[in-house]
Every structure is written in C-alpha cells, then in structure tokens.
Structure 1
Amino acid sequence: MLNRKVISRLTTGLLAGMLMSSALAGGVSLGGTRVIYQESAREATLSLSNTSDNNLYLIQSWITQANGAKSTDFVLTPPLFTLKPHKENSLRIMYTGPALPADRETVFYLNSKAIPSVKKKDISGNTLQIATQSVIKVFMRPADLPSTSLDAPKHLTCKVAAGNVTVTNPSPYYVTLVGFTVGGKKLPNSMVSPKSSLSVAVPAQGSGTVIFQTVNDYGANTARQSCG
C-alpha cells in the first residue's frame, strides 16, 4: 500500500478508469445519469459542464456494448474536446448501425473520461494527475412500443425461493431496481432486461416481502413498491 512519502515522489502521472457512481467526473458533470435515444430521432444529446474554478479538462467519449466491447455503431461529435472552467459543451450521439430489435429497448453505455490539464510549472514537480471516467446507460428506444416506460415497474413479478429472488419483467423496457430488499435484507442495485428474468441471491437464505424503487427516464427514483 502506498504511503504519503511514496506518493510525494511520484512525478506527473495519470490514473485512468476510476469509475464514479454518479454522473460526475472530476470537475466535469454530465447533464444526466442516462440517455434515452428515441428511434425516431436522428440523434440524442448530452451536456457536459466543467464545474471547477481553475482546471481545464480534455474530454474523451465513446460507446460500449453491454459486454464492454467498444461499439462502432455510433458517431459521437465531438469525440475529443477541451472544456474550460465554468463552460459547457454538448455531445451529439448518432446511431449509424444496423436495425435494432423493434419490440424492446437495447442498452449501450456512454463512457466519458475527463483528463485534467497539467501546468508547465508542475511538469517537473511532484504532482499526481487523476483522470476520472463516468459511465451512463444509453437506452435505444423503438417507436410504437405497446406501453410506456412509466408502466413497466407495475408489471414486474417476483418470486423468492431457494435463497434467491427472481424478478420477471414482461415489458419492453429495461427496469433498474434500487432500494432493493427482501424481508428487510438489502440487495444490490440491479437491472432487469426487457422480456426477461433476473435472479439475485438473498443473504442468509432470507425470505419475505420484496420491496424496491425504480429509476425513471429522468434519473429520479420512483415511489417504493412491493412485488409478489
């Protein structure tokens, strides 16, 4: 484990890939915790703001598939740009790939890395520069789905058996579960895919009422609900 003495000897460096749970990377904040890309739209946009007083950031963005592989089916404009203190820029997201399933959403992930600039006077000094990376979901939403995303949580069903809770989502939307508990035992935040089921282990083979909140299109938590 590095102590302070060791860290003080480090010359200018870069620690990349430090993922943050919120849509905030260093002094750079993203204008949302998710992007809803409507199939009928040519593009989606996301704002990025530099909230710091002094730091200039180099912003690099790209899209990955659910398996983590980089996707070549999107054009991001601009993919690389600088963001001055207290300034804002918009990232345009354009899908150029093959047709996606028309009966359900498809999820991708937007990665945005904020790399702080280094002042010339600090290059030869003992400084540590940290690049931070935010990752948010991009939901590709087909047109003319038979229900709304607001209705999706209402249709979830749950079953607790053999130390697991299985959540079934018959809707065409991804549903993210937060504040997820079974019999009062806390479970990790989870996302149930459209027209699919997800099983999550319950601590100590617990049982009881399944309670959760979901995250809506605006990134806000919905009211707590039980599931049977």
Structure 2
Amino acid sequence: MRDVVAVRLRQARRLCGGLLAGLLLMPPGGAQAALAVTGTRFIYPAGTSALTVRVGNNGEAPILLQAWLDKGDMGTDPSGLAVPFVLSPPIARLEPQQRSALVVRYTGESLPGDRESVFWINFLEVPPRTTAEANVLRVAYRLRMKLLYRPAGLAGEADEAIRQVTWRLEQGPQAGGQTALLAISRAPYYVSLPQLALGEGKQVINWQGITIEPFGTTRIALPVAKKAAAQATAIHYQVAIDSGETRSGSARIQP
C-alpha cells in the first residue's frame, strides 16, 4: 500500500546520507507528488533473474528519485540495512514526463522455503530546487510498497490464500485486557487487506492496510469506544491479488 510519511529533518539527512540536507519531509498539503509507480506491490518468484519496477515523472519539473529496500524497519539508515536484494539505480534523475525502470535482483542469501518473505521498497521523491530558495520549505514524498519473495512449490494459490484465514474475537486477560480480532492463517502466503470492516452501522470498525502473515496469528486491537463490535459475527474485506486488483469478500467469525 502506498504511504506518504512525514519525518523530521534529522531523519531525512540520515535516510538519504546527506542528500536531503536542508529538506524537510512533510505530509502533502497543496503540493502534489509527481512520482508515479506502476503497481501496488511486487512479487519476486524464486528463480527469477530480475524484477523490473516501472517509475515515471508526471510533473512539469525534474525530480530526483532515491530508492532502497528494508525489512520493515522504515526508520533505519539505508546504508546500514542488510537485505538479500540489490536495487539499481539507487538514485536517478527523472525529467518531466520521463518513464524509467528500477531493477531488483535477488542475491541468493538463504530465505525460508516454506513461505513467502516480505520486504519493502522505498521511493523518495526529492522536489526540484527553485530560484531564490533561501529559507524556503521544500516538500518531499516517500512511498513504501511490499516486495514479496515467493519460493517455488508453495501449496495452494496466492490469490485464494484469504480462504485459509480464520477469524475469531479474543477477550479477557490473554488479550491484555482489550478485545482483539484474530486472523489465523494456515497459508504460506502473505494476505494484504487494503480494507477490513467489523460490525455494522454506527458500531462498525474500519481498518486499512492490514497484512496477515503466513502460518501465524495477526492480532488487531478493537477501539475501546466500540466494544459493541465485539458481538459481530462476520468481517468484510477487500483483498489484494497478484494482478494488483482487489476482491471483495466476507467471512464468519469463529466462536
């Protein structure tokens, strides 16, 4: 899923190795991001020599694009990250309306063979410098998208993995005193839910960007103000599939 994140100037300098000195990252206001990325998540099947990620500049001025991968630790200095992939080029200049590509290659380090592994591709768009820019606040945008490494021979189909997820509500001391929705997966695939809803009417609880891990239990806390939703008997969701599309569905909550 695409995230536009805000970080302080100190973090920006760390993330970009000084490239963004004097640049403050902020959530978008009136300004619009020019960077376009084709896709919402990326699948890297085992045995693939390389994965191509298409990018472009939809703006009217040049931009500088920095890209790197992480394991989910989005605040870590990219120079200190160890991931089993090489992404090139790490820095590129895109002219207005230019289209280009980044190439991701697996370097062969050992990864689990019975389930997918998840990494994140970061895209940082640096805006152009304008004239008379002293003391001018510049806005940059950062997007993060999943990169899933998929071993060969996994059981079942990735697009049907949601059917191997069961749901139940957990209450009491085992939930830390707070009611939680549990998603229990028997699938070797990551399940990405852009939208998830529990309950009906005024008591409905909506979440965005939920990821369910393979062969694990994902706990999703319920807001205390909507305890009545704990009586719900079904969840409704939008699930992302390999094509980049989403499917709607629902599932019963197990007793």
Does the C-alpha gap of structure 1 residues 19 and 91 become closer, same or farther in structure 2, counting only changes over 3 Å? farther
Alpha-carbon separation, structure 2, partners of 1:15 and 1:195 = 40
Structure 1 residue 176 corresponds to structure 2 residue 182? no
1:39 is matched with 46
2:57 paired residue among 50, 55, 58: 50
Instruction: Between the two structures, name the one with larger relative contact order (CA 8 Å, sep ≥ 6).
Output: 1
1:165 is matched with 181
Partner SS, residue 231 of structure 2 = coil
**What runs of 5+ residues in structure 2 fail to find an aligned partner?**
1-20, 172-178
Aligned length: 209
Amino acid at match of 1:167: A
2:244 is matched with 219
**What runs of 5+ residues in structure 1 fail to find an aligned partner?**
1-11
1:81 is matched with 92
What are the within-5 Å matches in structure 2 for residues 1-228 of structure 1?
A: 13-16=22-25, 18=26, 26-53=33-60, 55-68=61-74, 69=76, 70-119=81-130, 121-124=131-134, 127-162=136-171, 163-184=179-200, 185-189=204-208, 190-203=210-223, 204-205=226-227, 206-208=230-232, 209-228=234-253
Alpha-carbon separation, structure 2, partners of 1:28 and 1:97 = 30
Which string of whole-angstrom CA distances, capped at 9 and with x for unpartnered residues, describes residues 115-154 of structure 1? 12214x3334x63321111111100111111111111011
Alignment identity in percent? Answer: 27
Q: TM-score, normalised by structure 2?
A: 0.76
Partner SS, residue 150 of structure 1 = helix
Alpha-carbon separation, structure 2, partners of 1:87 and 1:93 = 20
Larger proportion of strand: 1
Alpha-carbon separation, structure 2, partners of 1:99 and 1:170 = 23
The root-mean-square deviation of aligned C-alpha atoms, in Å, is 2.1
Shift of residue 96 of structure 1?
Answer: 1.1
Which string of whole-angstrom CA distances, capped at 9 and with x for unpartnered residues, describes residues 24-75 of structure 1? x82011111111111120111111110012x101111100012345334221
Larger proportion of helix: 2
* 1:13–1:127 CA contact under 8 A, matched in 2: no
2:14 is matched with none
Alpha-carbon separation, structure 2, partners of 1:132 and 1:97 = 31
Does the C-alpha gap of structure 1 residues 215 and 227 become closer, same or farther in structure 2, counting only changes over 3 Å? farther
Q: TM-score, normalised by structure 1?
A: 0.84
